[in-house]
Amino acid sequence: MGFPLPDSPHACLVSLPTWPAVIGYEEGDPDVVEKMRAGYPRFFLHPITSRYLASLEERYAGPDERVMAYSSAGAAERAHAFVRTRTGLRGRSVEENPSLLVVPAEGYMAARDYWKHTGELISSRQAEDGLVGVAPDTSRLEKSRAALASVMEAAVEDAFFFESGMAAIFTLHRLVTNRCPGKKTLQLSFPYVDALKVQERFGSGVDFINDPTGRELHACLLAIRKGEYAAVFCEVPSNPLLNTVDLTAVADACRDAGTPLLVDDTVCSHLNVDLSDHADAVSTSLTKWVSGIGDVMAGSVLLNPRSPFATEFRDRLGQEVPGGMRLYPRDVEVLLENAAGLAERVAECNRNGMAVAEFLKGHRAVARVWYPAFVDREAYQTLRRPGAGYGALMSFTLARPERAPEVYRAMRFSKGPSLGTDYSLLCPYALLAHYTEREWANECGVTPELLRLSVGREPVSELCGRLDEGLSLACD
């Protein structure tokens, strides 16, 4: 029983079935890493991509050199600057392929870190074509942009598509920090890991407010109105604690100051929340709900046509994203095929998500559940579309947290990162996203034992049965 996993050779699946396997992956244990056939592409090179990079190294690299490939010549230049800043080492470009960067072996991990943080990567389909020398067919990209804009319920001129969700966020960050040199950005609520890393490692830094409520929110609004920030970033809801900031108050302050408000709606999707009265631009990882399969990476930025920044941002993004599309043509085709099931996927997962969240909330082994219907509900309700739901992502902790490894091992779910797929996904979030900064994450409320569950389309009785089976190990 259950929803089938994708059988595509390009599937971005990783299975880490036990707590020690997760730790082994994070620590680079060969007994774990060498058994992995695939993983989330920003963190784990797909086998096809690895073969392609190896072929490039044979062609372009000298002794003690490595090659990384990026999504554009501009990305390769930015990666080179990042490597120089991080290591002091200089690489070199490849004249016949300016999207490549050749670096000394000692600078390779910095080159990979740029790929990881910014998402300006190449896909396994692009690597596959590169291996056999097939040129991409770009003739349908204009129609593809229009089709994806329709999926996202946006005007085509306001929709820009990227090679990953992180590339969308990173591009917005560069746009706003370049227009306000020297100013920090502001991040409200605990966000997805690299959404914060981009602001920490690029631009002029970030002020991070973990709990923007009460006095903290009041102080933030004052600082925004004083014009202290190049932009304000937040997620609605946030990942993994499912917080929803008072976006109306934040948007009012941003408008008063002439400061862009940039919101990510990946967790619940644009079919559940409407940010059009608040955000100047909305980023989304299309890898999640819009694909829903786990076999393609993509991201988008949708501009608010009523924003005072609309014309400026449209022009700037037009330069960054020629034709509004940076997705590889074969990836666009797969994404559009997957997106045909978006509305049904979201509606079914909304229903399942609420049922599972209620089940967990009432289970004696569970200490706390984070879900938009339970956390900052009033703030979420102001943004929820009529008739929409609360999504299918939730986090929970156990009344006996020391039992988390045993419970995790016993859970019969696909175990790995990502969310928004037809099949359920479970992971110990802090270990995967914040392994080297677990103490800091714990101080922010993301404990090492926290489990994050993305509920899929399996029958509710099956989902709750699997959960109860695992949770029973924490009940005695």
Domain termination residue (choose one: 301, 317, 339): 339
Quote the CA–CA distance of 121 and 370 in Å, as a whole number: 32
Q: How confident is the model at residue 36 (pLDDT cuts 50, 70, 90)?
A: confident
Contact 141, 325 (CB under 8 A): yes
Q: How confident is the model at residue 1 (pLDDT cuts 50, 70, 90)?
A: very low
Residue 346 shares a structural domain with residue 368: yes
Bridge partners (DSSP) listed for residue 136: none
Q: How confident is the model at residue 6 (pLDDT cuts 50, 70, 90)?
A: low
**Which amino acid makes up residue 34?**
E
The pLDDT value given to residue 417: 86
| pTM: predicted TM-score of the whole model, two decimal places | 0.95
Residue 375 shares a structural domain with residue 442: yes
Domain termination residue (choose one: 339, 365, 391): 339
Residue 258 shares a structural domain with residue 321: yes
Any domain includes 18: no
Residue 360 shares a structural domain with residue 334: no
Q: How confident is the model at residue 307 (pLDDT cuts 50, 70, 90)?
A: very high
Residue 106 shares a structural domain with residue 145: no
Any domain includes 46: yes
Residue 180 shares a structural domain with residue 47: no
Any domain includes 292: yes
| Of 324, 399, 341, 332, nearest in space to 368 by CA | 399
What CATH number should be reported for the domain holding residue 401?
3.90.1150.10
What CATH number should be reported for the domain holding residue 286?
3.40.640.10
The pLDDT value given to residue 438: 96
Residue 289 shares a structural domain with residue 262: yes
Residue 359 shares a structural domain with residue 235: no
What digits encode the pLDDT tens for the residues 379-392?
Answer: 999 999 999 999 99
Q: Is 69 exposed, middle or buried (0-12, 13-18, 19+ CB in 10 A)?
A: buried
Any domain includes 441: yes
The pLDDT value given to residue 44: 78
Report the domain count for the chain.
3
Strands 100-104 and 92-93: antiparallel
What digits encode the pLDDT tens for the residues 264-301?
Answer: 999 999 999 999 999 999 999 999 999 999 899 999 99
Domain of 151 in residue numbering reads as 141-339
* Averaged pLDDT score across all residues of the chain: 94
